[in-house]
Amino acid sequence: MARRRKGENIHGWIVLDKPLDMTSTQAVSAVRRLFNAKKAGHAGTLDPLATGILPIALGDATKTVPFAMDGEKVYRFSIAWGTRTDTLDREGDVVARSDHRPAAAEITAVLAEFTGEIDQIPPAFSAIKVDGERAYDLARDGETVELEARRVYIDSLELIDCPDADHARFEMRCGKGVYVRSLARDIAHALGTEGHIAELRRTLVGTFEESESTKLDVLKEMAHKGAASEALLPVQTALDDIPVLAVSEEESFQLKQGRSIVLLPRLAQELKEQRRPLTIAGKDCTFLVLAECSGEAVALGDAKAGKFQPSRVFNMTP
């Protein structure tokens, strides 16, 4: 007989302001312990040397993680000129040096090369699997790791300032899969120098913003006072761009049994007018709709041909 997972049925999102020198996995474990939650996951890894927005899903919110991961992201980061490290951040060993320090005008002139669709080679020290093993494990063992270039999309890339000759600060808005450490390496090479990430902070993930984030120390204090739930956001927070269908208690029951419900012509037309092209985790989700009952998420499913067919049901029992 399978062992029953310990913990409570806690459902929702915590927008954690991840501290320095903590892995994303450690952050998820810390939040899960604070809530004594049965299930937890995160929407997009942050390196230990990065801070900022790490959305953590508890309970049935984990069913919406792909929607958060495919959302837009904003990063603020600093590049240190003159040295490249094996990890492409300040934690690694120096593997290349350059005496050139680019001026602000030089930097601004090359940024257009790194906006729109670009091909990017991920860092050797990354979680990408190579023949079943993580690239960073192979790199730490001294093996040469060669990763293929990937197509990614960068909406905007702006130079914020140059506080001194050795550093430049940037802000980037991008899609899924962009490696900021690789970007630092490539910008430096385009400028005829070397560089690595000195500081990195994520300020936006999909609908999750920096202004609604909570620091881990604050969350611990809230948990000590029995008030941690005040930082918990609804399960459907990650589904902000999905059309919503309000259903009755009876319809909610039917959907949770996996049964479809009939849509009135007026509702079907309204949902059709809200429809837009949407791809999540490589799957076409153009017809996707969120069913809610009294403000609580009931099910995700397709609304077409006059019916709503649930594909993912939320069971948020205490």
Asked if 47 is an active-site residue, the reply is yes
* Catalytic position from the list 17, 21, 47, 217: 47
Contact partners, residue 294, CB within 8 Å, separation at least 6: none
Secondary structure class of 132 (helix, strand, coil): coil
Tokens of 288: 């996707």
Q: What is the DSSP string of 152-169?
A: EEEEEEEEEEEEETTEEE
- DSSP secondary structure letter of residue 306: T
Cα separation, 79 vs 170, in Å, equals 8
Cα(267)–Cα(304) distance, integer angstroms:
11
- The β-bridge partners of 199 are 78
The CA angle 303-317-234, to the nearest 5 degrees, is 60
**Cα–Cα nearest to 289, from 211, 222, 236:** 236
Spatial contact of 107 and 170, defined as CB atoms under 8 Å apart: no
Give backbone dihedrals phi and psi of 308, rounded to 5 degrees, phi first: -115, 115
Question: What is the C-alpha radius of gyration for the chain, rounded to an integer number of angstroms?
Answer: 22
Distance, in Å, from the CA atom of 19 to the CA atom of 187, rounded to the nearest integer, reads 27
Residue 58 CB-half CA count within 13 A: 29
DSSP string, 45-79: ---TTEEEEEEEEEGGGGGGHHHHHTS-EEEEEEE
Active centre residues (catalytic): 47
